[in-house]
Amino acid sequence: LATSVPPTFDLGLLLINNPNPLDPASTRGPELEPYLAAVARENAQSLLSEIWQRLPAERVEDAVVAPLPPPSTPLPREKPPPKPKPPSRWEEFARLKSIRRNKKEQAVWDEATGEWRPRWGYGRADPSKEWLLEVPASADPNEDQFGRLKKEKKERVAKNELQRLKNISRNMRLGGTLPALSAGGGGATSSSKELKRALVVAKRSDASVGQFSAKVGGEKVGHLQGRRRHFLPNTGSLTAERGIQEQVLKELAARRTDPLNTERAVNRLQQQREQSGDAANAVDGRRRPQKKKTAGKVSTEGGKSRRQNARDSKSRKYKKAAASGRANQKMKSLMKSKTLGKRK
């Protein structure tokens, strides 16, 4: 096999990259598999030569091993690298006071049994399993000593748990994320303010806008914060309702300066004329073969040229659009301010 380009290696992955293309003639028909096997053999030989030459062989027990270098091909990780854990309150204190951990031995001398017992785990001298407890001089003689020990242990466990949770909440505040509220890679809710905000958002993100959600302790609910529409009652003062409706109609009427839209009427007329093809009644001044006049047609005010007419109609169109736009806006504002259902 004539290799024009030498192969490259990544020994960390036991990888050989051979950038030479396969011979197209050999890849057809029954020669494919033997050809591929030959190519593979060449590649394997090159790779093994590289391994044997480059990597120093060591002897471990009865095997010959070679240390592999780290891979040079960039491969993605499975998970992001771990974030350094901030120290707990005790760890900070210990650091400041330079308190070091004392390594405790596993076995403890137990006086009662007279033998060495493990400090923890199976076979330890468990104080809770004591069959005999001395009543201390300062204690009430009727007090249950066993019960007292149990209670104290419970309290200690609860305190430790509280400290642990406090540390976790401190870590969250300093740069972690609250898992429930940061779905899809959300930002850190570092302050109580953000937490409250998140709660408000979460509450109102349902169909009933949080009306029926249970109130969380310490939560300040805004007065009808999410409500969208508030209607006046259907029953009530008829005169008031009538008055409102009359007002609406009055204002509508007042907007229309021109009750008869002359522009529109004229346009309509022209359309009719053009459709019927009446030359005499056509607006443009060009001579056309005379057609029969039909009764009831209105004559236009003087003949205008076609171009002039087009210009006028365009400007009319724009004027009309503008006027209607303005009218629409005014209508909208009207609807906003005075409707039967009041908007909050």
Partner 1 sequence: MASNSVIKPKTQAGKRALARREEKVIENTKSCLLIRGGNTSEAIGSCLKDLYSLKKPHALMLKRRNPILPFEEISFVEKMSRKYDCSLFAFASHSKKRPNNLVLGRLFNYQLLDMIEFGVEGYQPLCTFPVAKVPVGTKPCLSFQGEEFDSDPTLMAIKNLLLDMFQGPRVEKIRLQGIEHLIQFSYCDGQILVRSYRILLKSSGSKIPRVELFEMGPRFGLRLRRHKLATPEQFKQARRQPKVATIKKIKNIVPDDGLGNRLGRVHVGRQELDKLQTRKVKALKRPREDFNAADGKKIKKRRLSDNKKQKNKG
Instruction: Catalog residues that contact partner 1 under the rule CB under 8 A.
Output: 5, 13-22, 27, 33, 36-37, 39-41, 43-45, 47-49, 51-53, 57-58, 60, 63-68, 71, 73-83, 85, 165, 168, 171, 176
- Say which DSSP state 30 is in: G
Nearer to partner 1, 48 or 133 (CB): 48
Q: How far is the CB of 62 from partner 1 (least distance, A)?
A: 10
> In this structure, are strands 115-118 and 107-110 parallel, antiparallel, or unpaired?
antiparallel
Are the C-beta atoms of 219 and 241 separated by less than 8 Å? no
Nearer to partner 1, 13 or 279 (CB): 13
Q: How far is the CB of 250 from partner 1 (least distance, A)?
A: 58
Distance (Å) of CA 126 to CA 103, 142, 290: 21, 24, 124
Nearer to partner 1, 64 or 132 (CB): 64
DSSP conformation letters of 179-233: TTT-TTTPPP--SHHHHHHHHHHHHHSSTTTTSSSPPPTT----TTSS----PPP
Give the integer Cα–Cα distance in Å for 50 and 16: 10
Nearer to partner 1, 60 or 249 (CB): 60
Give the number of other CB atoms < 10 A from CB of residue 298. Answer: 11
Q: How far is the CB of 178 from partner 1 (least distance, A)?
A: 10
The amino acid occupying position 90 is: W
User: Of 259, 297, 257, nearest to 281 (Cα)?
Assistant: 297
Residue 175 in tokens:
């740069």
Q: CA-based diameter of the chain, in Å?
A: 138
Q: How far is the CB of 108 from partner 1 (least distance, A)?
A: 23
User: Of 318, 283, 324, nearest to 304 (Cα)?
Assistant: 283
Q: How far is the CB of 272 from partner 1 (least distance, A)?
A: 57
Instruction: Compute and round to an integer the Cα radius of gyration of the chain.
Output: 47
Nearer to partner 1, 71 or 325 (CB): 71
Q: How far is the CB of 51 from partner 1 (least distance, A)?
A: 7
Q: How far is the CB of 55 from partner 1 (least distance, A)?
A: 8
Give the integer Cα–Cα distance in Å for 270 and 81: 78
